[in-house]
Amino acid sequence: MKLFLFLVLLVLALFAASLLIGPAGLGLGESLAALFRGEGGPVVLVMQEIRLPRAVLGLLAGAALGLSGAAMQGYLRNPLAEPGLIGVSGSAALGAVLALQTGLAGVFALALPLSALAGAGLSVLLILALAGPRGGALALILAGVALSALSGALTSLVLNLSPNPFAAMEIVYWMMGSLADRSMAHVWLAGPFIVAGMAALLSVGRGLDALTLGEDAAQSMGVNLNRLRLVVIFGTAAAVGAAVAVAGAVGFVGLVVPHILRPWVGARPSRLLPAAALGGAAMLLAADIATRLIAPDRDLKLGVLTAIVGAPFFLHLIWRLRRVEA
């Protein structure tokens, strides 16, 4: 209980900091007046149309990535699993890249997130087709790895064949991940998918608890493994696909956060899921604040910071597992 209270307070503090920190250099009273009372002229635009959507998307995307990572690790019973393992992230990125390459993103502002969502939805259908209606965890992993490889190859092909260097540069920058220049339209587009996906994932906590004892034990306890698999896949696709659609390819949140919090919840998936959602939101909000403080004039990308933190942790995790197995 103390952990959840701490995480809630941490997320609230970081959310408030995200609203108040920025290159505009606004005062506390001025910022609050513009945000809640609509007073202050141009300050209202900064607070309500720039900082508020950025903070809300950081909260939602971080929670989606952290929760999806915990759900994938619980379902696959693999501590190295993360949301991108089933190919949703790569497929969503491919959809966004195609929108940028074809020029649709320049004609219609929401074409990019809509294309990313379409890519995520298509990836779910392909995974279910490849893994089969009753495919187990191994079939799901193999299908996801194949789809991720294919999405990555097609994304590289689009970059390679891009005749416009400016479009290629825009694609590369988008794939690094960022919450800058987002509006409330992005919030209303991605928010329902993220919330629906998170609600689905939070509902499988008891099933994942039973699955820790093995598939046979879980079935004997009344867990429908096929339904559990579908809920995890569709929930992850909705939450992660929408998060990638508005924030770009931000990695390692779904891998790092569950591992940090797992020892504090007794390794129970039902308790880890909400904790990972709060932890993911805190990590992404903190990383987004850091991008504004470290290099405010250079547009430091969000995915760069999360990779700098996550990659060493990932290597440490592999080293620790190797020593345990030895």
Write down the pLDDT at residue 107.
81
Distance (Å, whole) CA 23 – CA 233: 40
Angle formed at CA 159 by CA 122 and CA 123, multiple of 5 degrees:
10
For residue 173, the model assigns a pLDDT of 79
Give the other-Cβ count within 10 Å of 125's Cβ: 10
Q: Which helix (H) or strand (E) holds 312?
A: helix 302-325
Domain residue ranges in the chain:
2-9+56-316
pLDDT at 133: 64
CATH code assigned to 2-9+56-316: 1.10.3470.10
- In Å, the largest CA–CA distance within the chain is 64
pLDDT tens column, 270-292? 999 999 999 999 999 999 999 88
Residue among 121, 117, 142, 122 nearest 132 (CA): 142
Name the stretches of the chain with pLDDT < 50. none
